[in-house]
């Protein structure tokens, strides 16, 4: 039998300390639930790990959740970023060659100033903010992540799209040399590259939509979408297009990556909605990474107050 | 190798080898080697080992014929029971760790047009009668022919199990398709052999096919 995973590296060599603490919490709960008293004996008592001084000292902002942030190690080692491979550990493992600098973003389409910008120029003068958001994956797991970024609305206002622009489309960089998942492979993701995402203009202008450059107060790592990515916390995680190189304003609804690949399963809007299940699994509940029991999924991932009005009058079963 | 098959230690040795994936999983769980979503890992790994043991079990008969080791039959029951064992752990992981016995959720999962969950449950349930009637006593009680008929349910269980895997992934269907291809070969070999035997005159030696 072939053993697929290298097990010759001691976990102590690769697992940072706070991750251990997280595991221990899981093991403790698991042991309790399973009634394995003996297992408790092999899990020594431990003090709480310092997660990140920064996020804990910062006063809670208007859009921040006060839920406990997911440990940094999990945020950076449990990822869906198919350009680096389809398994959750692949993005951290396979992104070593990825170069986030220098970086150019081209702004195209129905906009007053179509041009290519260096990342610095694109964001110059915009004030980065830290936002602690929930992140709900379409696979029914979730995290709480402290992002650093600029409101997308602020950038769009500066780029001045023409009144004809109804949508904004984003594209991920195409670099098969640095992104092994973009190379043709039988065992690939099944998606078409480059990854494309998009928002309706009112969604893009919503104050929650963030162009993220940092995670936990540090520059975002490749596996989190460096150097610039989208975060729309009321939508499923796959809307958060990573490593953006193209922003295009258009009057037509963009053909987005997952919607193109499996339209009956993934819609353009992809709003978190516990009442509309994925055709193959329930979206009513989710597992928060680090927790044992599932929790109920909230409408619009708990951001209904900020976003629900954008969808009033729409049939969310049809526009999923 | 055929010599090993008949040696007294061969069965305990195969038994221990079959337990390795489970021991390895328990070790990883309690050593903290699993990912940030350990329940998903436990689910995935027990699921994939169920499929692997189903394939291994189904390869016993073709191997006996093709490479001429009839003594391999000695391991078939044990391998099949290990397939059932991993399926059982997988099933319990879903019911217990994943859903925490939320029966209304589980029932909803199965009936609300989700072939994914339903196929998994079906694949497991189909193996239950096989596990129960796996003893010599049951072969005697049922009679060889009827026993054999019942145990052909493993074909259905394996087909539905591969479908379950296929429905589990998003668009990365290559791995489930690879399992499907292996299964197609294993079942195809049976059809080919059956066709060959059917052309023989009545009374010619016919080894049981399963």
Q: List, as one string, the DSSP characters of B2-56.
A: HHHHHSTTHHHHHHHHHHHHHHHHHHHHHHT-S-S-HHHHHHHHHHHHHHHHHHH
pLDDT of A15 above 50: no
- Give residue for tokens 């640095």: A178
**What pLDDT score does B27 carry?**
97
- Flag the least confident range among A33-37, A38-42, A260-264: A38-42
> What mean pLDDT is predicted for residues A285-304?
96
A-B C-beta contacts closer than 8 Å:
97
**What pLDDT score does B124 carry?**
98
Chain B residues 50-109 with a CB less than 8 Å from chain A = 52, 96-100, 102, 105, 108-109
- d(C-alpha A188, C-alpha B142), whole Å: 48
Residue B67's pLDDT band (cuts 50, 70, 90): confident
Percent of chain B clearing pLDDT 90 (strictly above) = 71
- Flag the least confident range among A7-21, A199-213, B15-29, B142-156: A7-21
**What are the pLDDT digits (tens) for A257-287?**
999 999 999 999 999 999 999 999 999 999 9
> What mean pLDDT is predicted for residues A201-216?
98
**What are the pLDDT digits (tens) for B53-63?**
999 999 999 99
pLDDT of B78 above 70: yes
With H, G, I as helix, E, B as strand and everything else as coil, classify residue B166: helix
**What pLDDT score does B66 carry?**
85
State chain B's mean pLDDT as an integer: 90
**What are the pLDDT digits (tens) for B84-139?**
999 999 999 999 999 989 898 888 888 876 899 999 999 999 999 999 999 999 99
- Cβ-based contacts of A42 with chain B (< 8 Å): 30
* Best B32, B110, B178, B179 residue to mutate vs chain A (most A CBs within 10 Å): B32
**What pLDDT score does A29 carry?**
60
Which of these, B102, B94, B60, lies nearest to B80 by C-alpha position?
Answer: B60
> What mean pLDDT is predicted for residues A91-112?
97
pLDDT of A226 above 90: yes
- Cβ-based contacts of B83 with chain A (< 8 Å): none
Both tokens assigned to B159: 């087909």
Which of these, B45, B57, B42, B65, lies nearest to B153 by C-alpha position?
Answer: B57
The answer for residues whose C-beta is within 8 angstroms of residue B188's C-beta and 6 or more apart is none
Q: Cβ of B116 and A280 within 8 Å?
A: yes
- Cβ-based contacts of A295 with chain B (< 8 Å): none
Provide the pairing of β-strand A167-172 with A196-200.
antiparallel
Using a CB–CB cutoff of 8 Å, tell me whether A141 touches chain B: yes
**What pLDDT score does A10 carry?**
46
CA dihedral sign of residues A139, A140, A141, A143: positive
Both tokens assigned to B79: 């391998």
- Give residue for tokens 């190189």: A245
Residue A189's pLDDT band (cuts 50, 70, 90): confident
- Nearest-CA distance B37 → chain A (Å): 6
| Domains of chain A and any CATH numbers | 15-49 (no CATH), 58-311 (3.90.420.10)
Q: Cβ of B97 and A262 within 8 Å?
A: no
Whether residue A227 has a cis bond before it, omega within 30° of 0: yes
pLDDT of A7 above 70: no
Name the residue ranges covered by the structural domains of chain B.
Answer: 2-197
| C-alpha radius of gyration, chain A, whole number | 20
Q: Cβ of B172 and A187 within 8 Å?
A: yes
> What mean pLDDT is predicted for residues A13-24?
48
pLDDT of A130 above 90: yes
pLDDT of A46 above 50: no
- Nearest-CA distance A81 → chain B (Å): 13
**What pLDDT score does A5 carry?**
45
B15-50 in b/e burial notation, b at 16+ Cβ within 10 A? Answer: eeebeebbebbeebbbebbbbbbbbbbbbbbbbbbb
Q: Are A273 and A299 in contact (CB under 8 A)?
A: yes
- Flag the least confident range among A201-215, B31-45, B108-122: B108-122
**What pLDDT score does B114 carry?**
82
**What pLDDT score does B194 carry?**
72
> What mean pLDDT is predicted for residues A209-231?
98
CA dihedral B135, B140, B142, B146 (to 10 degrees): 90
Using a CB–CB cutoff of 8 Å, tell me whether A293 touches chain B: yes
Using a CB–CB cutoff of 8 Å, tell me whether A11 touches chain B: yes
State chain A's mean pLDDT as an integer: 87
* Best A136, A294, A296 residue to mutate vs chain B (most B CBs within 10 Å): A294
Residue A123's pLDDT band (cuts 50, 70, 90): very high
> What mean pLDDT is predicted for residues B142-153?
94
Q: Which residue of A has its CA nearest to B116?
A: A280
pLDDT of B23 above 80: yes
Using a CB–CB cutoff of 8 Å, tell me whether A287 touches chain B: yes
Q: Are A156 and A200 in contact (CB under 8 A)?
A: no
pLDDT of A58 above 80: no
CA A204: distance to chain centroid?
16
């Amino acid at each position: 039998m072939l053993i697929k995973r290298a097990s010759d590296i001691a976990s102590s060599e690769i697992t940072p300390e706070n991750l251990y603490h997280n595991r221990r919490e899981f093991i403790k709960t698991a042991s309790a639930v399973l009634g394995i008293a003996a297992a408790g004996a092999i899990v020594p008592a431990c003090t709480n790990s310092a997660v990140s001084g920064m996020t804990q000292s910062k006063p809670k902002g208007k859009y921040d959740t006060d839920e406990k942030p997911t440990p940094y190690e999990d945020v950076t080692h449990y990822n869906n970023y198919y350009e680096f491979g389809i398994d959750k550990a692949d993005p951290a493992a396979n992104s070593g060659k990825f170069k986030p600098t220098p970086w150019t973003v081209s702004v195209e389409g129905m906009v007053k100033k179509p041009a290519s910008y260096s990342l610095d120029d694109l964001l110059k003068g915009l004030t980065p903010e830290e936002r602690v958001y929930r992140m709900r994956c379409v696979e029914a797991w979730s995290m709480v992540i402290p992002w650093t970024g600029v409101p997308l609305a602020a950038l769009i206002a500066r780029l001045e799209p023409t009144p004809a622009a109804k949508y904004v489309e984003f594209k991920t960089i195409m670099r098969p040399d640095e992104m092994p998942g973009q190379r043709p492979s039988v065992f690939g993701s099944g998606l078409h590259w480059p990854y494309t995402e998009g928002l309706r203009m009112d969604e893009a202008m919503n104050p929650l939509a963030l162009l993220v450059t940092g995670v936990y107060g540090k520059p975002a790592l490749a596996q989190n979408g460096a150097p610039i990515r989208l975060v729309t916390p009321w939508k499923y995680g796959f809307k958060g297009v990573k490593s953006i190189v193209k922003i295009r304003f258009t009057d037509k609804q963009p053909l987005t990556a997952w919607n193109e690949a499996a339209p009956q399963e993934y819609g353009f809007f992809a709003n978190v909605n516990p009442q509309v299940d994925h055709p193959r699994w329930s979206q009513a509940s989710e597992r928060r990474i680090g927790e044992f029991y599932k929790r109920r999924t909230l409408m619009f991932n708990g951001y209904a107050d900020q976003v629900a009005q954008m969808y009033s009058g729409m049939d969310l079963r049809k526009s999923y | 190798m055929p010599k090993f098959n008949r040696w007294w230690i061969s069965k305990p040795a195969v038994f221990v080898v079959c337990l390795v994936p489970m021991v390895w999983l328990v070790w990883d769980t309690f050593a903290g080697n699993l990912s940030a979503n350990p329940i998903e890992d436990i689910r995935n790994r027990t699921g994939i080992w169920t499929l692997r043991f189903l394939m291994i079990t189904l390869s016993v008969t073709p191997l006996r014929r093709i490479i001429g080791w009839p003594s391999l039959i000695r391991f078939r029951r044990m391998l099949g029971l290990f397939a059932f064992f991993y399926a059982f752990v997988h099933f319990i992981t879903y019911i217990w760790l994943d859903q925490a016995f939320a029966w209304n959720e589980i029932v909803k999962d199965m009936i609300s047009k989700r072939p994914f969950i339903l196929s998994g449950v079906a694949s497991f349930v189909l193996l239950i009668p096989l596990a129960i009637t796996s003893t010599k006593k049951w072969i005697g009680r049922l009679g060889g022919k009827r026993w054999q008929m019942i145990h052909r349910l493993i074909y259905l269980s394996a087909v539905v199990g591969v479908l379950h895997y296929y429905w589990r992934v998003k668009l990365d269907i290559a791995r489930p398709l690879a399992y499907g291809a292996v299964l197609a070969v294993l079942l195809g070999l049976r059809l080919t052999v059956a066709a060959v035997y059917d052309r023989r005159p009545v009374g010619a030696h016919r080894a049981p096919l399963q």
